[in-house]
């Protein structure tokens, strides 16, 4: 019995020692796990602190925000002034356009009225010539004096020529003058009667006239060759 009891005690001591080793391992593992947790927990606050900007950084950010805000206000003010200036120029353009349109209409009306008045004055001045023609025609049947009729017609003709001369109309000289395309229109060519008339106007079919030195009708002529 004494040997058995000794062996049993020895076995129990071994089991106890083995159990203590297991417990020590678990305790060590738990301690290591706790240490890791503590270490991890200590690092997180440090990372968060690193991400928080410092007072100097916050001051710089606020300064930049203020500068951007000032620039934005200045841009808005400049844009508002530009829009106001644009509206003023548009109003000026509309007023000037309306004034110019009124001026154009007034000028056209004045020009039309001036032409009408000029025509009226011209016709008024030609009425005495018409009166002379009517008097001459009324005496044709009652007069046997052919020379007197010729003389009367000549006076009327000269009066009419004087009238158109006073109004700026002048006859283009053509007979026996050098042919000039600026004043003459050649209807035909014929052999020149003399050597001197070659290249010159031999005959005038229809007289040409100038109005204030501007051609209003070319002289229609026959040219010698």
pLDDT at residue 102, as a whole number: 92
Question: What tokens were used for 144?
Answer: 């046997």
pLDDT at residue 1, as a whole number: 45
pLDDT at residue 32, as a whole number: 47
Residue 95: CB atoms within 10 A of its CB come to 10
Strand-pairing partners, residue 184, are: 219
pLDDT at residue 2, as a whole number: 47
Residue 126: CB atoms within 10 A of its CB come to 14
Alpha helices in the chain (DSSP H): 2-51, 55-140, 146-166
Distance of CA 206 to the CA centre of its chain: 51
pLDDT at residue 38, as a whole number: 46
Name the stretches of the chain with pLDDT < 50.
1-4, 29, 32-34, 36-43
């Amino acid at each position: 019995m004494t040997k058995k009891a000794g062996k049993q005690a020895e076995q129990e001591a071994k089991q106890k020692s083995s159990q203590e080793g297991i417990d020590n391992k678990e305790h060590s593992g738990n301690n290591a796990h706790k240490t890791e947790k503590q270490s991890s927990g200590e690092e997180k606050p440090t990372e968060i602190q690193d991400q928080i900007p410092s007072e100097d950084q916050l001051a710089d950010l606020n300064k930049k925000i203020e500068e951007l805000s000032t620039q934005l206000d200045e841009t808005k003010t400049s844009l508002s002034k530009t829009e106001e200036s644009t509206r003023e120029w548009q109003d000026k353009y509309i007023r000037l356009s309306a004034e110019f349109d009124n001026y154009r209409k007034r000028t056209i009306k004045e020009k039309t009225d001036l032409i009408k008045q000029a025509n009226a004055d011209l016709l008024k001045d030609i009425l005495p010539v018409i009166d002379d023609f009517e008097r001459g025609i009324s005496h044709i049947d009652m007069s046997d004096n052919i020379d007197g009729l010729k003389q009367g017609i000549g006076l009327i003709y000269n009066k009419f020529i004087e009238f158109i001369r006073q109004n700026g109309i002048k006859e283009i000289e053509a007979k026996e003058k050098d042919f000039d395309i600026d004043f003459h229109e050649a209807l035909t060519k014929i052999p020149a009667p003399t050597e001197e008339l070659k290249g010159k106007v031999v005959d005038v079919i229809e007289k040409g006239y100038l109005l204030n030195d501007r051609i209003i009708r070319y002289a229609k002529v026959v040219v010698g060759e």
